[in-house]
Amino acid sequence: MTKRPRRPAAARAHRPASPPADHRPAVLRTGALAVLATLLLTASTGQPRPAAAALGPARPPARTAPALHRLVGDGIPGAAALSTRDGYRAARFSTAGVADLRNGRTMRPQDHFRAGSLTKPLVATVVLQLAAEHRLALHDSAAAHLPPGLPVTGPGSGSDLRRVTIRQLLDHTSGLFNYTDDPRLAKKLFGTGFGAHRYDRHTPAELLRTALRHPPAAAPGARYSYSNTNYLVLGLVIRAVTGHPYAAEIRRRLLVPAGLGHTSFPGTVPALPRPHGRAYAHIGDRRVDATSLDPSWAGAAGEMVTTLGDLNRFFSALLGGRLLAPRQMAQIRDEKHTGGTYGLGLYATELPCGVTVWGHNGEINGSHARTAATADGRHVLSYRVNTDTHSAAVPDTAVLTAEFCARRDGRAGQP
């Protein structure tokens, strides 16, 4: 197996930790969703549904439940996963632990949560659609497609959006400083200042100025360096090219065609849509309820709110070729400029059994989520926990291996 680099996350890059050898017992529940063809892979095609008998077994195998159990045993309050596969009439939903430590309620399939950097594949898809429409080109300068009045260079920092291309924003080779790593801002977003500043409002222009004040991490095109600034800028590019906010374009181009009725971009609204559980983060040695916050600091880099079902629908439609033309589908998977680390909004993960899955992860205060799928989008897993990796270890690969590396006979191998 090729060794993978650190996986990206919405707020900051993080190093996944291995779970301890011993595990405490946890509540575990597994059930089926009543989401037939609308949640399966033919949901947005508009084709007639086949007869139930032709669709095969009712649910995919229960593979991720033990992995969720281990996560909760390692100190995570709650975890949930949704698996969808061609040939099964319904998805399989599994959960462990609790969604709310106050009343002990479990996670539900319909629960909304903050998805962090899982916003990025949707932003990238819209940008690639605009490229297919010849409204921009991937080799264009980012500065050429920004709304008037926005800064394009920093005061003596060396950061210069005139030298950065759209492609370099998409695959994180721009070298732009990651604005969420600014020490003063990071203290407010994730540190001891969170309680006092969780409802602060931020504008993209303000956040861009924060990034441009810092020297670049590398020269444009020199190397991969994950930065939320890249997708902050892409959100501004979409607005300048289309005349509409990036969230409006995502709704029109992606959410409506793919049937994602439970995904939203809250802007400055701090509350989650109902139903939802709680989100927990650690500030110092205290566990803090981080459910309510102003997500404007995340913007196009990670403000999305969604459900497990909508994530599965989106990645099934994307990888199934229903949202991008073949040329753009090849581009979104193109990792050559990052040495096999990251495409143009997606990245591949090779699992211990040799299976390669495509997707993204996301993180924001008190929430971590991951979606992975086979290259054709016919087998999709989305899972989430109600904490972040700065509060507890979240071994993504262990969950993905449980789902994608077991054959029907229970042994490791190609699913």
Annotated catalytic residues are: 117
Round to whole Å and give the CA distance between 335 and 343.
Answer: 4
Whether the Cβ atoms of residue 274 and residue 81 lie closer than 8 Å to each other: no
Round to whole Å and give the CA distance between 295 and 388.
Answer: 15
Phi, psi of 37 (to 5 degrees): -65, -25
Whether the Cβ atoms of residue 281 and residue 365 lie closer than 8 Å to each other: yes
The terminus-to-terminus CA distance of the chain in angstroms comes to 17
Round to whole Å and give the CA distance between 298 and 269.
Answer: 12
Exposure string for 215-246, b = 16+ CB within 10 A, e = fewer? ebbeebeeebbbbbbbbbbbbbbbbebbeebb
**Where does residue 102 rank: exposed (0-12), middle (13-18), buried (19+ CB within 10 A)?**
exposed
CB atoms within 10 A of CB 58: 11
